[in-house]
Structure 1
Amino acid sequence: MLRYILWRLTVMIPTLFLISALIFTIIQLPPGDFFESQIAELRAQGEAANLQEMEELRKQYGFDKPQVVRYFYWVGGMLTGDFGYSFEYQLPVSEVVGDRLWLTILVSFCTIIVTWLIAFPIGIYSATHQYSWGDYGLTFVGLLGIAIPNFMLALILMYFANIWFGISIGHLMDERFLSQPMSWEKARSILSHLWIPVIIVGTSGTAAMIRRLRANLLDEMQKQYVVTARAKGLHPTRALIKYPLRMALNFFVADIGSILPTIISGAEIVAIVLSLETTGPMLIRALQSQDMYLAGSFLMFLAFLNVVGVLVSDIALGFLDPRIRLQGRSTK
């Protein structure tokens, strides 16, 4: 196991290096840069652009140098903790992400917890009561949750909230707290607004997890070791939890690799619809405006979380399922 972990950690270095090169190349593919886009936008609005200031900023941040030099400048800065400067917000990237990152983690973490708390008991019930009226009803609700896109559900809730209650739902806090530092009043406002995006974002994830847990658990419950355990008089609940449920959780552990970057990125389209102060809209805006350091650093952080999440899920699977051997030993 230790040899496997060390080998995976060693492989992570060239993997992240290749990912960084790919991210940098894709960001540079559109013609021009942030400064040219900014000049064009100002002229379209009928405003005069300070060409001299733009040129000074271009030289200051190395945009007059070859792309290879700029790439190593960007990677070297990240290795020393300097994620660059956001031209869109005119602040260092670390300050731009700041509060948005913590709010995104809060929304995503609460969504994951609510998803698990709802999906696990429903998935177990559906598997142990196959083809019952409860199974049919929960299956129908789950299929609706998968079929309806999250952004459409957000639009529907916004419409009915306005029609029925005359209120406008959106944001993660009252508008008077948007530019204020964190306080008890702001925290209470965030908690009072938090349940709406949690329900909307968690709907499809909950429905999908119910279906997957039900299918995996049904497959395990039909295997011979479960039949043998029941024939020997083992209590049904213990026979369910000790082996079938444990084996059915493989997919859940394998999803850790995708859960970690999701916690940071958030639901971008839902965040735009609900005007949430999370990192999703910020990332999309950075990509549109070619804010290279903000977009590139954020995507690189997501890639790092993805690689770490896959490593954690592989190790956890080795401990959870004795049938998985990470050492690759041959059996006869």
Structure 2
Amino acid sequence: MTKLVVRRLLYMIPTMFAISVVTFLIIQLPPGDFLSTYIAELASRGDAVDTRLVDALRERYGLDQPIYVQYWQWISNIVLHGDFGDSFQYRRPVSDLIWGRLGLTIALAIATLLVSWAIAFPIGVYSAVRQHSFGDYAFTFIGFLGLATPNFLLALIFVWISFRYFGQSVGGLFSPEYVDAAWNLGKVIDLVAHLWIPVLIIGTAGTAALIRVLRANLLDELRKPYVTTARAKGLPEWRIILKYPVRTAVGPFISTVGWLLPSLVGGEVLVSVVIGLDTTGPLLLDALISQDMYLAGSFILILATLTVIGTLVSDLLLAWWDPRIRHAQG
């Protein structure tokens, strides 16, 4: 197991380097830069453009340097100093803008992941064991609805229902009195009280996908000869299902951590805009629209890092859960 962990961690080094290069190239793809967008915005409003100020900003942020110099300056500051650079739009360090919202985003993602698993596991097992029953068809129908309905549309439906029938506004993660308050027990309780709606909205598609994955895998296991043999020996049905088929079928279920975690963080962008969440989503969207290079690049790098971390976690969980994988990889 130790060799597996060390090997996976070593693989992450070249992977993260390649990701950082691709990330920087992606944010350089659109023509122009933030200052070009800024000048165009001033010109559209009829405001005067101070060329000396623009040139000073271009020199300050190194936008007049070759792309490889800009990349090296950006990535070396991140690795050596934890400095993600300055946001052009907000004129503040990127780290100050990110960390406050990133904590709320990760809390939302983890809560959504846990709720998705808690809902998907029993439903997936039930749908496989009671195949072609009314409950199986009902959950399948609801699952397809969850997969087909965009999260932002579901958010709009929640907003309308809440306002139309309950006279309440679904927006934000805190009540007005806790928005600027210091963290305390009351603020945590208020966060939990507001968290369930975005959790349901963002986790709908992921929960539906997990149900389908677990149901398909468990159906395949239930048809194998060892299950028939166990039934012939007179073992209780619940023990037959939970001890062997479920244990094997949960493997691919665990592996979904690798793609589910970043998809939860990335999938909350439009939902956050619709219901006004103070997470990373609206900030990322503004950074991409305004070509705020360092802010957008930092977000993309963080999402890619979450993908790598999610894959590492899923690999380690699979190795811990299934001795065959641990033996093969060790």
Cα deviations by residue, 1:126-164 (Å, 9 ceiling, x for unpaired): 111112222222222222222222111111121222222
Q: Give yes or no for the alignment of 1:67 onto 2:67.
A: yes
Q: Give yes or no for the alignment of 1:243 onto 2:244.
A: yes
* Mean Cα deviation higher: 76-85 or 257-266: 257-266
RMSD: 2.2
Q: Give yes or no for the alignment of 1:56 onto 2:56.
A: yes
Report if aligned partners of 2:84, 2:95 keep a CA contact under 8 Å in 1: yes
How far apart in 2 are the matches of 1:185 and 1:208? 35
Q: Which amino acid in structure 2 is aligned with residue 117 of structure 1?
A: A
Report if aligned partners of 1:104, 1:263 keep a CA contact under 8 Å in 2: no
Question: In structure 2, what is the equivalent of residue 7 of structure 1?
Answer: 7
Cα deviations by residue, 1:169-216 (Å, 9 ceiling, x for unpaired): 122223454444434554343233212111111222222211221111
Give runs of aligned pairs for residues 86-235 of structure 1, distance below 5 A. 86-175=87-176, 177-235=178-236
Question: In structure 1, what is the equivalent of residue 46 of structure 2?
Answer: 46
Three-state SS of the structure 2 residue aligned to 1:324 is helix
Query: What is the CA-CA distance between 1:85 and the residue it aligns to?
Result: 0.9
Q: TM-score normalized by structure 2? A: 0.91
**Structure 2: 5+ residue runs without aligned partners?**
none
**Structure 1: 5+ residue runs without aligned partners?**
none
Aligned residues: 329
Report if aligned partners of 2:84, 2:298 keep a CA contact under 8 Å in 1: yes
Identical columns (%): 50
Report if aligned partners of 2:206, 2:260 keep a CA contact under 8 Å in 1: no
Q: Which amino acid in structure 2 is aligned with residue 43 of structure 1?
A: A
Cα deviations by residue, 1:253-288 (Å, 9 ceiling, x for unpaired): 211212343454451111111121111121121112
Report if aligned partners of 2:113, 2:261 keep a CA contact under 8 Å in 1: no
* Mean Cα deviation higher: 219-228 or 141-150: 141-150
Q: Would you identify which runs of 4 or more consecutive aligned residues in structure 1 move more than 6 Å? A: none
Q: Give yes or no for the alignment of 1:17 onto 2:17.
A: yes
Question: In structure 2, what is the equivalent of residue 312 of structure 1?
Answer: 313
How far apart in 2 are the matches of 1:148 and 1:70? 41
Three-state SS of the structure 2 residue aligned to 1:226 is helix
| More helix per residue | 2
Report if aligned partners of 1:119, 1:209 keep a CA contact under 8 Å in 2: yes
Report if aligned partners of 1:108, 1:266 keep a CA contact under 8 Å in 2: no
